[in-house]
Structures are given as structure tokens and as C-alpha cells.
A and B are shown apart, each in its own frame.
Chain A
Amino acid sequence: MHIIKRVGIAPWKAWMIRGIAILMALAVCAIITMIVTKLNPFSVFKTMVDGTLGNSLRTWRTGYRVAILLGISLAVTPAFKMRFWNIGAEGQVLAGALAAAICMFYAGKMPFFLNPNISLAVKDLIVITCMLIASICAGALWGFLPAFFKSRWNTNETLFTLMMNYVALQLVKFIIAYRDVKYPWSANGTVVGIFNSDQKLGSYQVGWFPEVGGSRYLLPIILIAVLTIVLYLYLKYSKHGYEIAVVGESERTARYAGIKVEHVIVRTMVLSGAICGLIGFMLVGTDRTLTDTLVDGRGYTAVMVSWMAKFNPIGMVFAAFLLVFMQLGAKEVASLPSLNLNHSFADILTGIILFFIIGCEFFISYKLQLSRHKKQGV
């Protein structure tokens, strides 16, 4: 048997291979689910659909989760296209969320915002602008640090961003448990309630994302849809996007063409981090609280979504939907009263799907030749 690198592959063929891989993965998942639950696969599938899209509340929740995962995946994509292995989205989102939460929390304590005579719209305008700026700056800082050291001294970015995740996580835990003499964040040191939720105070609802179209989830979904299109255009048609692609293909070529590689690396990572910070802002604005499980590993899942879709923003929509559907669906199956399984069942199924998709890329890049006679690959 001989392995040959493919020169190129028709896009429909590549997507067909991925489709087959996903079908095979789903078949394996179905078999495992059958063994574990002893239900027939169709009723399991029905439960999954029911759990994700069963009623309007669930559909909104699914849409929101897809949007957030998509948003984080979009954020890491420019860096990946540059072959900068940013696995620090988790930390960048958390940093943004933390900054936004601090703005929301302290705004609720200031005399200006407590004054009931000032309209909510004015307060919101000020607080939400502050939250937006603060979270973007925090995310950008978390992205800037590894990029700066990478561009100057070639510090390993994978390990750097990984550590930054935990720095952000511990900071969030610290802030949540922090006992400010005047304004304690939480009563018991573990859970922060909904910010600005006291109806009697003038700061009621300050900094909350407005409900659009009857759901608080619609606004972030719209924002991320816009972001998807903007990022698609940015990567495909802008000069910056072109520079990112060249640096990703070959740093030497980029240098030779007069592209300032260090500059591109820092700029792209600041952008990447800033978008992550923006997602953190949306999470806090929509959930109106801060927890240490706010991002819940989605920063890592986003890496896989971005990679699965071959850095194509449109492909990411489907990849994000598939993973969220499996996660929420499997959770629904696991919590059927007749089964009452552990929720981690969803992670096992997600893992299996990922393994298949990761494995199938081989058959897209390479061709297996079974014949014995020697034939050189082009």
C-alpha cells in the first residue's frame, strides 16, 4: 500500500468525504447509545430533536448556544489561518466577560445609576458602552501578550495561550469570591446572583441586553450573524486577510513579499482576542451574571469547530450547529427519567464525532494506492 499526497481535490469530493465521516460517526454514536440506553435509535433521535428544537424556549436556547460557539470559533479563525495556534479563546472570552461584569456590577452601586430620575436608556447607553470597551480591551490584551512574545522571541504560543486560560479562570474565581467590604460580590463566595436585579433600586436592569423580538437571545444571535459575514469578507477580500493567508502559507514568502510578519501576528491576535472579548461581553449581557463555568470549555470546542470547517465561516455555522445539537440532544437523552444517565454522555458522543472528522481529513489530503507497481506522486 502506498500513500500519495493529493495535488488538489474537488470541493464536492472533500465535503462528501466529510459527510461520510459524519454519517459513520453518527452510526457509531447510535450503536453506543443503543447499547447504553437499550432504546431504538429513532426514538433516541426524536428525543434529541425534541430536546434541542422541541419548543420555542429550547429553540432559542439552541440558537443562542450555536451563536456563541460560532462567535468564539470565528474569533480564533484569523489566528489559525496564520498558523498561530491560539488555544486561549477560553481565557480571552473569560477576560472579556470579567471586564464586562465588573462594569455592570460597580455601575449598579454608583449614586448616578441608583438615581431613579434618570431614564434607563441613558444609564444603559453609558454602562453598555463601558462594558463593550472594557471587554474588548481585556480580550485584546489576552490576545496581545502571547502574540507579542511570539513575534519578538518566538515564544511557543500554544503553551502561552493555554496558561493564559487559567490565569483568566483563577482571576474570575478570585473576583467571584472576593469580599469587598462595601460591595461583596457574592454572599457565600461561590455564586454571584443576577446583577442589578433588585426592582426597588434605580439600578434595576442597568447593563442588561434589551429583549429584541420577545427574546433576550435574539440580539446576540443577530450580532454574531453580522460578525460571521464581516469576518468572511475580512478574511477573503481585505488586504489584511490576504496578508494573514500568506503568513500562514509560508512565513518566508511573506517576508520576501515585504509583509511585516511580526506586525501581522500582533495585529491578528489582538483582533482575535478582541472578538473573544466581545463574545464575553455578550455572554455577560445576556446571562446578566458571572460564573466560572460561563465559557465551560467552549473556547476549546471552538478550536475544533474552526478547524473542522477548514476556517470557512460558513462551514463553521454547520459545524457549530452539529456539536451543539449533539451536546444538548445527548443531555436530553441522558436525563430521560427512565434512564437518568450522567450528563457527560454528551462529551463521549462529541468526542467520537470529532475523532471521525479529524481522521477523515487524511483521506482528503492523501490518496491510498493499493497497486504494487511504483508510481510517483506528482
Chain B
Amino acid sequence: MWSFLVSFLPRAVMQGMPLLYGSTGEILTEKAGNLNLGIPGIMYVGAISGVIGAFFYEQATQGGQMIGILAVLIPLLSCLLGSFLMGLLYCFLTVTLRANQNVTGLAMTTFGIGFGNFFGGSLIKLAHSEVPSLTFSNTCEYFGTGNYPGWLAYVGIVIALLTSLFLRYTRTGLHLRAVGENPATADAAGINVTRYKYAATTIGSMIAGLGGLYYVMECAHGTWANEGFGDRGWLAIALVIFTIWRPSVSILASILFGGLLILSEHLSLQLGIKDLYKLAPYVVTLLVLIIVSLRKKREDQPPQSLGLAYFREER
């Protein structure tokens, strides 16, 4: 039992962290009233942007000595830039142009996953790799050992805690929640709705994008393979509902989800039964969604204006 936990727990944490990043970013976004269904796409873009950065830095050093700080900063910054641009695009369409959030989000997911796989495929070709994947063993060393969660996992936990504190205890956090609940009231109180929505969504996208980078550098041991990230983006959105919009709860819940993702690999099961285990996170999320709406507790509800565009003159 003990040996099972020792091998299982670190892997569950590592599988959970991308989901934690994704859900923290999405919670921040949703608290501003933006239901960003583009998160799966944004996480792909974040991952591939980081990979592109790492790829060119490794090419530039030609297998020679890499400077540690650059090996970390280049992928990190390019990841942040890529996901920032995606967040900006989402905001421009939904906040400035007031487009439908569901449709915009789905289009971003289509685009983002295509973007990731296309550039991933192109890089694989550029590297003349024989297998359909890219490995960054040199860059990966600076991110973690591979068997235990590295520093980026702790950063994720700290970000989740800070987001929780920010939303609950700061004035800006209060304003942000007001924007998500009722933008018209917030506007009347002198809060700049557009600025809050932009800020929350782009920062949220950047946090989610880091989840993509984390996945490549730690879960996959520095390997990019097309479609490797899978549907973790949707799981991150499920996690938002599961934790009832609380990033601090998400820390443990993400580990639980990560555990459910790989539990079937640790048990000796029939092939088909494994897929039934993978059903668990979604079914559990559905139950939480139903129970929350049954209990009608005020503080457990989704932000009231979630998914609606705000236009001052339409009140």
C-alpha cells in the first residue's frame, strides 16, 4: 500500500498541476463574467509557444552549455506571450466587439489546437526527428527531475492560493467579482468594466497557458507530441465547476482529478474498464453541478452574468 502511494501520489500531483493552472486561469476569467471555452486551445498555444522558445534556444546552443536562467526564461516568456495574445483576441471579440462568448471560445479552441499541432508538426519536421515527437531533454532538466513535481508545480499552487486570496480579500478582487455578478451595477459604482474584463481574462489565459508548458516540461518529460495534451483543457473547465469557483479548493481537487486520470494505469484492469474509470471526473463534476444548483446556496452559484456581454447603453 505504502509503495503504491509513493509511486502514485507524485504522479497524481504531476498530472493534476496542468489542470490546476487551467482551472485557476478559468476561475479568474469567469469571475469577470467571461465564460472562456477557449481554455483548451489556449493551453495548447501556451504549450507550443513554450516549445518553440525551447526549440530555438536549444538549436542556438547546438548542444553546448546552456545558461540555466535563459533555458527557463525563454520558454516561460514565449509561453506567456502566446497565451496572452490568445486571451487578448478573446477579449477583443467578446468585450470590445461583444461577440457571443460560447461561439468565440469554441472557435478559439479549434484554432488553438490546430495551431499547436501544426507548429508541433512543423518543428518535428524541422528537427528531422525519426519519431513523431520532440524531446527537450536539456531544457527539461531545468524544470524538474521528472519523477517528482518540480518548481513549476509549486508556482502553480502559489498562484492558486494567491488568486484565492486576491478574489476574497482585496478591493480589486471585490471589484472583479462585482463585474462578473452584475456589470451594470459595477459600472454605476465607477468600476471600469472593460478594463477589469480585459485584465482578468488575459491574466487568466496566461496562467492557463503555463499549464500547457507544465504539461510538456514535466508530465511528458520535455516531450511534445501532437494531440499529446488531449482533453485536459476540458477537464480544467470541469474542475472549475467541481471546486465551485474556488482556486484554493482546486489545489486538492486537481490532484484528485490527476489521480483519477492515471488511476487506471496503476490498477491491473481490463482494457475497457480503464475507460470507465476515466469517466469518473466528468460524472463527479456533473453531480457537483446538479447538487450546487439544487442547494441554491448563494455563494456557490456561478457568477450571475457569466456568458453575457455587457453594453452600457443596453441596460
Contact = CB atoms under 8 A, between A and B. Distances in A.
B69 interface: no
B85 to A, nearest CB: 13
B102 interface: yes
A341 B121 contact: yes
Given A170-B276, A344-B121, A358-B93, A160 B289 contact: yes
Interface in A162-193: 162-164, 166-167, 170-171, 173-179, 189
Nearest to B281: A166
B231 A342 contact: no
A159 interface: yes
Interface stretch (B75-83, B103-111, B144-152, B196-204): B103-111
A155 interface: yes
Contacts of B271: 177-179, 189
B136 interface: no
* Interface magnitude class on chain B: 35 or more
Interface stretch (B12-20, B112-120, B161-169, B176-184): B112-120
Interface stretch (B55-63, B214-222, B233-241): B233-241
User: At the interface, is chain A mostly helix, strand, loop or mixed?
Assistant: helix
Interface in A274-324: 297, 300-301, 303-304, 307
Interface in A111-167: 149, 153-156, 158-160, 162-164, 166-167
Contacts of A160: 286, 289
A345 B241 CA distance: 33
A164 B285 CA distance: 10
B205 interface: no
User: At the interface, is chain B mostly helix, strand, loop or mixed?
Assistant: helix
A347 to B, nearest CB: 2
A5 B97 CA distance: 12
Interface string B227-248: 0000100100110010000000
A159 B294 contact: no
Contacts of B100: 307, 358, 361
Contact of A177 (B116, B231, B272): B272
B211 interface: no
B313 A377 contact: yes
10 contacts: A87-B102, A156-B289, A159-B289, A163-B282, A177-B271, A179-B271, A303-B103, A342-B117, A346-B114, A354-B103
Interface of A: 3-5, 85, 87, 149, 153-156, 158-160, 162-164, 166-167, 170-171, 173-179, 189, 297, 300-301, 303-304, 307, 340-348, 350-352, 354-355, 358-359, 361-362, 365-366, 377
